[in-house]
Amino acid sequence: MINRLSVTQKLVLSFVFVIIVGSILLSLPISHYANSPETSYLDHLFNTVSMVCVTGLSVVPVSKAYNGLGQILSMLLMQTGGLGLVSLIAFSTYTLKNKLGLSDQDLLQSALSRDNQKDLKAYLAEAKQDNKKIGFVPTMGALHNGHLSLVQHCVKNNDVCVVSVFVNPTQFNDKHDLETYPRTLEADCVLLESAGCDYVFAPSVEEMYPEPDTRTFDLGTVSEVMEGAKRPGHFNGVAQVVSKLFYIVEPDNAYFGEKDFQQIAVIRAMVKQLDIPVKINDCPILREADGLALSSRNVRLTPEQRQKAPLIARTLKESANFAPEKSVQEVIDYVINTINADPVMRVEYYEIVDGNTMESIKNWSDTTYPVGCITVYCGEVRLIDNIKY
Ligand code: AMP
């Protein structure tokens, strides 16, 4: 609930909290302390008010900048213990912010987000000098809880969490898709800040590609089948941008979602081929309550399509119930026919593959790791999903 509040609301809330609790403490009867030989009422009062201030200013998760400021103020208050000072500082911070005409997003973006490699590298050099573990989550923005689950894994397992927000043109084989891809950097920064991300790298196309990237990757079957076959050049673009980002960030850990199941295999192959020393961590698919896999593209669904879209996950789940008894082909036919029976839906492909090699299987005994990968057009919107059998 508190993370939904704006920075200003959090700031005001923290100061109101301090003032209310402080005032209650001020009104406590002096007689209660009169008999205490060690602590005078005034000492105790100042200590209590200071503690309340410390709690109020640092527990309420204001932006990092405010939090730092809050802690300095708290230290000051430890020495002086004065509600007047708190009110004065609250008032002057608020007035200053308004006078400067800064929006919450401005503050968050300036605190969190940078668009050039130089700043990012300088920031990371310091962290690396201190032997800090760097975690990295590459995204194209328009963030939702699926992305944030990756960020949470990253924050939990590393000292520094860097997230990139970059809509990479080289991985779009459809110009219309690139042009209409949702871009919401300001809102993304707000979400990332509350998720505990330390640095948002949001470069321009020129920053990432001062010259065209002419590299062609040969990553074998993992990049050639399914998405590779249907979206020519897509995985080459993914390998280009992710390798560039890995060279810039040099992370210890990188986090990818299993929603783009084949993409993880491509990244693993690329990292192996280029010998990049990073651990690739895969994270489970986050879904809506009705089963639809979260995706930045879901916002493009009409209300009717949105209502129909959970059919994909539902059918995959149902197919897993009888998968061992039916042949691989029967399961494939069931999934395709069930989804295509809805006029709004059109299955582009459904394949059951070995989850490591991405090679199609004919019999369940062909692999110990069978995964079904699907792409469906729901109206104009291309949705992907998968299931482990
Ligand atoms: P994108 O911004 O679409 O390139 O996605 C960035 C990362 O978030 C990729 O590793 C995706 O696989 C991951 N991701 C996207 N949607 C989900 C989801 N619903 N659950 C888990 N991870 C996701």
Q: From first to last of its 389 residues, what are the pLDDT tens digits of the chain?
A: 443 344 455 556 656 665 666 566 556 554 455 555 555 656 666 666 665 555 555 444 444 444 455 555 556 655 555 566 556 666 655 655 555 544 444 455 557 888 899 999 999 999 999 999 999 999 999 999 999 999 999 999 999 999 999 999 999 988 998 998 999 999 999 999 999 999 999 999 999 999 999 999 999 999 999 999 999 999 999 999 999 999 999 999 999 999 999 999 999 999 999 999 999 999 999 999 999 999 999 999 999 999 999 999 999 999 999 998 999 999 999 999 999 999 999 999 999 999 999 999 999 999 999 999 999 999 999 999 999 99
CB 27 within 8 A of CB 45: no
Residue nearest to atom 13 of ligand 1 (CA): 257
How remote is the CA of residue 163 from the centroid of ligand 1, in Å?
A: 12
Residue nearest to atom 14 of ligand 1 (CA): 257
> Which letter, b or e, does each residue of 111-137 get, where b requires 16 or more Cβ atoms within 10 Å of its Cβ?
bbbbbebeebeebbeebeeeeeebbbb
Rounded-to-integer distance, Cα 165 and Cα 143, Å: 9
Token pair in block for residue 309: 């879209």
Which atom of ligand 1 is closest in space to residue 140's alpha carbon?
2
- Could you tell me which of 210, 200, 188, 113 has the C-alpha nearest to residue 163? 200
Cα distances (Å, whole numbers) of residue 363 to 221, 225, 265, 355, 370: 19, 18, 22, 14, 10
Rounded-to-integer distance, Cα 72 and Cα 22, Å: 18
How remote is the CA of residue 283 from the centroid of ligand 1, in Å?
A: 9
Rounded-to-integer distance, Cα 370 and Cα 355, Å: 6
Catalytic member of 32, 44, 147, 153? 147
Which atom of ligand 1 is closest in space to residue 137's alpha carbon?
7
Q: What is the pTM of this model?
A: 0.75
Q: Is 176 in the active site?
A: no
Rounded-to-integer distance, Cα 101 and Cα 106, Å: 9
Sign of the Cα torsion 353, 356, 358, 362 reads: negative
Residue nearest to atom 11 of ligand 1 (CA): 257
Residue 130 phi/psi, 5-degree rounding, is: -85, 15
